Amino acid sequence: MTATAFHNITLIEDSLWEAADQLRANSKLTSSEYCMPVLGVIFLRHATNRYQAALQAIEADQAAGKMPKRTLVKGDFIKRRALMLPEIARYDHLLKLPSGTNLGAALVEAMNAIEADFEPLAGQLPKDYDRFENKLLEDLLRNFDSAALRNASGDVFGRIYEYFLMKFAMQGAQDNGEFFTPPSLVQTIVNVIEPDHGVVFDPACGSAGMFVQSSHFIEHEGLDTMQRVTFYGQEKTATTIRLAKMNLAVHGLEGDIREANSFYDDVHRMQDGRALWGNCDFVMANPPFNVDMVDAERVKDDRRLPFGLPGVNKDKRVSNGNYLWISYFHSYLSEKGRAGFVMSSQASSAGHGEKEVRRKLVETGDVDVMIAIRSNFFYTRTVPCELWHFDRNKPPSPASGGGAGGEGAALNHKGNVLMLDARNVYRKVTRKIYDFSPEQQANLNAIVWLYRGQRERFLGLVQDYCTRLATESAAITPALTAFETQLTASRAPLAAFAASVADLDAMPPEQKQPFTDAMAEWSEAANAYVVDRATLTEALVGWARICAHADSKMSNAAQHTARQTFDPLADAARGLIKQIDLLYKLAARAAQLAQELSADETAAEFFDRRATSKLIKQLDEERKAAVEQLKAATHLHRQIAWLQERFPKAEMQDVPGLCKVVSRADIETADWSLTPGRYVGVAPAEVDENFDFEQTLRDIHVELADLNREAVELAAKIQENFEELGV
């Protein structure tokens, strides 16, 4: 997704949330009470989009003779990942209902019609629309009927659906938000275990985010999810199961999700009658952490606990349920299965009975990758966590007991574990929430590839960055030219005004001086810009020469040469960004001073305020475009440098403060701890030559905006409380 597309979707999401949140504000309902109705409307909008897209595809096939012209049936739509929506359930039908129609009743009728036609959703869709006034529902329906949303693809609408789940989680809806796992963490797990075939099981499936991200991974490989995998899920909360089934349906997916308490229940059977235990190709989960009320008597003989109970207190309760989950996940795996799950950071070094279970687990050789995540990745709690990954199909340890040697050799054998400390890798989303950028996600995954000896995949990622960098750098000159053209156009009327004012004897020199000085400072900055621009142009020529002779499979040495060739260009780009911003500020200042001078009636006839204001506004737009283009290129350059500086040979190696491949003996020496930070050490202090001052300012702005928004909400709540008290 391009930066522009990402920005546009973000704007759509924010505007939709603001509109939907009015429903809560005006209806006086809590988040948990209004989240399902809002998600139901999003579901209808997306289901209608998919229905219309499938109908167009069917009609095109019929016109081309690929499909007979006959009465359509449900199967025609299902195979195109769409529901054959009854007319009364189509979004456009609801919008065209006559004024005065009871929209609450119409929405309930639409939901009932869908459930009657699609068995997996039976009894799952929201039907409590009668609690809302007609005007509120009408506004909500129209807010989700913009041209952008009518034409939104599945990926876009799926992202919007996930965004709303996240927002509801942030507000504490549905059991303190435990139903929603942040996409960054889910995507990291998916990247490591690569669930692209067979049985995929989530014993704590929440809103089914693990399944949705697995589908994205499979489709990115060019495969059909429903032909490749079967999803099974267990969830203890009925309301959350509704969210899960709606989430799957809105993404065109199906899964067997059942209500069960996974601490005690193992309710699924596969199509051939076998239990999931010992037969899952992939297990994924974000279970509730640190549960301490599990009945030890009920689970002590469970076959899913091959390593025994982790510890029982005097009340015959399992002291902490974390290692029940960990044992369950391992036991569900087939002989070649992989697992990935979120776990409390306390679990990796817990003592007593938990340490004993962990020792037995490490001795299986199936522990594969441990990733430490900093705090603030979750929306409703700030605690750090770790991502655990098992692989029961790791190759045996070398007979020599040493690491596997040779270029690109794998280190992920039974005797080793990759410790990856990602606590210093993050992107600030809001004051309280962090995530991984797509590039950070890819870079972490590249480390796993090297650990597995997949050197070509690592080089492929660097090559992709180089290719994208070539594209972004080629767009720099047109963006700068557009800015320079607008800069010239903006200066012309101001220069003419300066000349006219200079001839006005009636105006005192001291009154003219600030404007004269501003124009002179602008000229000086423009001259400095020309110098920086020339440096950049020269660097671009050398870089373009490298790109012209690069092929799609550059060697590691060639990739290093390409990056090093871009180094001076990156420095020049950073300097030019400052120059561009300065030129705009000086132009805006000169325009402001000119406007103040034009207030004098002797100068008013020489200045067109409206035209000049329009030119400065357009200059700001061109400034933003030029700066973003330069930053897009330098950002990709930083990604290449980040990988090459840490793994110069494109081979796995220990990187202080980031990663280390440890042996079973190392783990035993460390008291069987699986905490990455205990092994990777601390990165050496270094001067950040690429310190992004503007990004730091943006982060500060994000925090300030969040604080201001919270202050407004708090003030409104206080006012509401006073009104209820009659004060």
Could you tell me if residue 660 is inside a domain? Answer: no
**pLDDT at residue 377 in the model:** 86
Q: Which residue has the higher pLDDT, 647 or 241?
A: 647
Question: What is the residue type of 260?
Answer: A
Residues 448, 481, single domain; the answer is no
- Would the pLDDT of 3 be above 50? no
Question: Beta-strand (E) ranges in 401-451?
Answer: 416-421, 427-428, 434-435
Could you tell me if 500 and 368 lie in one domain? no
- Lowest mean pLDDT of 315-324, 375-384, 615-624, name the range: 375-384
Residue 168 lies in a domain: no
Q: Of the residues 161, 194, 218, which one is the last residue of a structural domain? A: 161
> Which of 75-84, 170-179, 659-668 has the largest mean confidence?
659-668
With respect to residue 415, please indicate whether it lies within any of the assigned structural domains.
no
- Band of residue 155 on the pLDDT scale cut at 50, 70, 90: low
Assigned domain for 516 exists? yes
- Given a cut of 80, whether residue 345 has pLDDT beyond it is yes
The DSSP annotation for 384-407 comes to: -EEEEEEETTPPPPPTTSS---ST
In a domain, 176, yes or no: no
Average pLDDT over residues 98-110: 93
Residue 651, Cβ density class (10 Å: 0-12 exposed, 13-18 middle, ≥19 buried): middle
More confident residue, 274 or 283: 283
Q: Residue 164 and residue 168: Cα distance in Å, rounded?
A: 6
Please state the φ and ψ torsions of residue 199, each to the nearest 5 degrees. -95, 125
Number of domains in the chain: 4
pLDDT-derived band at 103, boundaries 50, 70, 90: very high
Same domain, yes or no, for 212 and 87? no
Q: Tokens standing for 103?
A: 């929209």
Phi, psi of 704 (to 5 degrees): -65, -40
Final residue before a domain boundary, out of 128, 161, 194 = 161
Q: Is position 406 within any domain?
A: no
624 and 697, same domain (yes or no): no
pLDDT at position 164? 75
In a domain, 619, yes or no: yes
355-366 tens-digit pLDDT: 999 999 999 999
- What share of the chain has pLDDT > 70, as a percent? 85
In whole numbers, what is the pLDDT of the chain averaged over residues? 86
Q: Output the pLDDT for position 173.
A: 41
CATH number of the domain residue 288 falls in: 3.40.50.150
Position 174 in a domain: no
Residue 480, both tokens: 């700068």
Asked if residue 223 and residue 312 are part of one domain, the reply reads: yes
**Residues 208 and 153 placed together within one structural domain of the fold:** no
pLDDT in tens, 434-468: 889 999 999 999 999 999 999 999 999 999 999 99
Judge if 210 and 93 occupy the same domain. no
165 vs 309 pLDDT, higher one: 309
Highest mean pLDDT among 215-219, 310-314, 506-510, 650-654 belongs to 650-654
Convert 291-329 to b/e letters by CB count within 10 Å (16 or more is b): eeebebeebeebebbebebbbbeeeebbbbbbbbbbbbb
Per-residue pLDDT averaged across 241-267, rounded?
89
- Is residue 608 domain-shared with residue 702, that is, in the same domain? no
Three-state helix/strand/coil letters over 188-231: HHHHHHCCCCEEEEECCCCCCHHHHHHHHHHHHCCCCHHHHEEE
The pLDDT of residue 250 is above 70:
yes
Yes or no: say if 501 and 606 are a contact pair by the CB < 8 Å rule.
yes
Domain that includes residue 368, residue range: 185-398+428-453
Say if residue 137 is in the same domain as residue 15. yes
> Model confidence over 513-564: pLDDT tens digits?
998 999 999 999 999 999 889 888 888 887 887 777 766 788 999 999 999 9
Is 207 found in the same domain as 139? no
Task: Kindly report which listed range (293-307, 331-345, 407-421, 689-703) carries the lowest average pLDDT score.
Answer: 689-703
